[in-house]
């Protein structure tokens, strides 16, 4: 047997109808002098009282439903805003990976560390002003403190990678290239021995060091960002399983 669920509107409606029916039959009884006439005033009083209470209950229930719907809409809006923030964080990780990918494409045009050091030109073909706002997402995925820490570290690693590219390019443009031009080493094939013999030691060593640091940072940053993208996406899906997030990143 189905259990009855109390509803103040239905209860008030039937109570009001009951009192109206009672009042009607009581009026008949009074008219036929079956019961004393003063009972008519008593019945009218209770009929008005019950009708007023039923109306108040109905109004209370109706206002409660309106407030409940409003709260549901507000909560849905807040959830959608949080999901948008998380998707923006995922997008920024993807943009960082694209920036790393562009640096890798530049590196891939040259065969070895020697060409990276002395032949790779200074190019800038990516957006470096992208980052994940850790403070913003930490208020949403509060159950993953370790991930937030790792993601913060990875943001620093990305900045370091960008800086290592700038250092390499600055060394190439301001020291290596002018000196190579002065010594007639540009636009022709040279051996490593020639570079080492003719170039000042700090410029020669700086060319290798800056290239090596760049390659190392690019490699580690790519691996780290891909790992954090997967972990962040998984955390987002656990937090909001009914919402869509950026698809798995593929290089």
Q: Assess if residue 83 is contained within a domain.
A: yes
- Nearest CA among 158, 139, 124, 142 for reference residue 229: 158
Is pLDDT at 226 greater than 50 in this prediction?
Answer: yes
**Three-class SS of residue 91?**
helix
- Residue 20 shares a structural domain with residue 121: no
Q: How many CB atoms lie within 10 A of CB 173?
A: 12
- Residue 150 shares a structural domain with residue 186: yes
- Residue 133 shares a structural domain with residue 209: yes
What is the structure's pLDDT at 28? 46
Is pLDDT at 75 greater than 80 in this prediction?
Answer: yes
The reported pTM is: 0.72
Contact 8, 55 (CB under 8 A): no
- Residue 124 shares a structural domain with residue 204: yes
- Residue 81 shares a structural domain with residue 59: no
Quote the CA–CA distance of 77 and 69 in Å, as a whole number: 12
Range of the domain at 89: 76-239
Mean pLDDT for 139-158 is: 94
**Range among 45-54, 141-150, 209-218 rated most confident:** 209-218
CA 41 to chain centre: 67
Question: How far is residue 204 from each of residues 17, 104, 117, 149, 179, measured CA to CA in Å?
Answer: 100, 23, 9, 38, 10
What tokens appear for 194 in the block? 């020639």
Domain ends where: 38, 68, 98?
Answer: 68
Is pLDDT at 60 greater than 80 in this prediction?
Answer: no
- Residue 219 shares a structural domain with residue 160: yes
Domain count, the chain: 2
Q: How many CB atoms lie within 10 A of CB 1?
A: 3
What mean pLDDT is reported for the chain?
82
- Residue 44 shares a structural domain with residue 83: no
């Amino acid at each position: 047997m189905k259990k009855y669920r109390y509803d103040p509107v239905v209860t008030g409606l039937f109570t009001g109808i009951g009192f109206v029916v009672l009042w009607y039959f009581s009026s008949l009884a009074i008219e036929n002098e079956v019961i004393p006439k003063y009972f008519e005033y008593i019945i009218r009083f209770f009929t008005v009282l019950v009708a007023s209470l039923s109306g108040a209950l109905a109004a209370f229930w109706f206002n409660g439903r309106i407030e409940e719907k409003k709260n549901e809409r507000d909560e849905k809006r807040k959830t959608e805003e949080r999901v948008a923030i998380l998707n923006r964080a995922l997008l920024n990780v993807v943009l960082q990976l694209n920036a790393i990918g562009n640096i890798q494409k530049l590196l891939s045009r040259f065969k070895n560390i020697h060409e990276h050091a002395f032949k790779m030109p200074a190019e800038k073909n990516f957006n470096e002003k992208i980052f994940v706002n850790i403070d913003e997402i930490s208020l949403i995925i509060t159950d993953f403190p370790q991930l937030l820490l790792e993601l913060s570290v990875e943001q620093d690693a990305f900045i370091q990678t960008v800086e290592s590219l700038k250092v390499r390019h600055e060394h190439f443009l301001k020291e290596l290239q002018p000196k190579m031009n002065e010594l007639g080493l540009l636009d022709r094939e040279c051996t490593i021995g020639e570079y080492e013999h003719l170039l000042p030691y700090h410029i020669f060593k700086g060319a290798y060091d800056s290239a090596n640091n760049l390659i190392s940072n690019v490699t580690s940053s790519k691996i780290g960002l891909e790992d954090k993208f997967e972990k962040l996406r998984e955390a987002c899906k656990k937090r909001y399983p009914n919402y869509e997030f950026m698809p798995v990143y593929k290089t």
